Amino acid sequence: QTYCNPMNLSYRFCLDQPSRREAADPTMVLYKDNYYLFASKSGGYWHSTDLLVWDLVTTPTLPLENYAPTAVVIGDWLYFLVSDSHTIFRSNDPAHGKWEVYNSSFPSSITDPALFADTDGRVYYYYGCSNNRPLEGVELDVNNKLNPIGKPVECIKGNPLVHGWEQPGDYNEKTVSPWIEGSWMNKYNGKYYFQYAGPGT
């Protein structure tokens, strides 16, 4: 079999101007041997059993016109959170677009959220999109609606003097402070890898 990269998805044109196709800020999760791909402002999310054929799933329950969706598997449920919404949703049947509200008053800042479930059962939340504030992270309480535990921790702040690729501009020529965003945490062979996006990515 062959595959296509970029993936051959039904990318939708933006609802606002300028008219263009968009599927930014992707999150993909494996849930019950099925793959789910969430992307910004896509009018739905995609479902696949083999990473080759993708079906668009629509649902009126989720705020699918918001930016930067994130999803994570905790136990038997798939959880969903998106920028500019203080509601966490969950589903045990995402293939059919069936979701329910899990926490309608998530108290933390919701900008470019990223959920991470560690192998020890603990869950963490990373967020931020700014040219003057750091990206931050905080542990969530799996026994209390995924509300934050304690105070957020600063992960990284834009620093173009050290990270030259953060300097804005096609040739890194602009002198304005860089926007950093798109937090993402991976764990591989017992090590944690924190990733983020900057103007040069």
Chain segment 33-89, per-residue pLDDT in tens:
999 999 999 999 999 999 889 999 999 999 999 999 999 999 999 999 999 999 999
pLDDT above 90 (res 7): no
Give the per-residue pLDDT at 4.
Answer: 67
Structure confidence at residue 128 as a pLDDT band (50, 70, 90): very high
**What gap in Å lies between CA 106 and CA 110, rounded to an integer?**
9
Residue 120 pLDDT greater than 80, yes or no: yes
| The pLDDT of residue 201 | 59
Average pLDDT over residues 3-27: 80
Whether 75 and 62 have beta carbons less than 8 Å apart is answered as no
Task: Say how many CA atoms lie within 13 Å of 89 toward its Cβ.
Answer: 22
* Bridge partner residues of 63 (DSSP): none
Give residue 3's pLDDT: 66
Q: What is the pLDDT of residues 139-189, one digit of tens each?
A: 999 999 999 999 999 999 999 888 888 989 888 888 888 999 999 999 999
* pLDDT tens-digit readout, 154-167: 999 999 888 888 98
Instruction: Give the span between the Cα atoms of 55 and 116, in whole angstroms.
Output: 25
* Rounded distance between C-alpha atoms, residue 98 and residue 25, angstroms: 22
Rg (Cα) of the chain, in Å, rounded?
17
Q: Give whole-number Cα distances, 38 to 21, 55, 80, 191, in Å.
A: 15, 12, 9, 26
CATH number of 12-158: 2.115.10.20
Specify the 3-state DSSP secondary structure of 24.
coil
pTM of the predicted model over 0.85: yes
Q: What is the pLDDT of residues 23-35, one digit of tens each?
A: 889 999 999 999 9
Ranges of each domain in the chain: 12-158
**Whether the predicted pLDDT of 14 surpasses 80:** no
Q: Are 125 and 140 in contact (CB under 8 A)?
A: yes
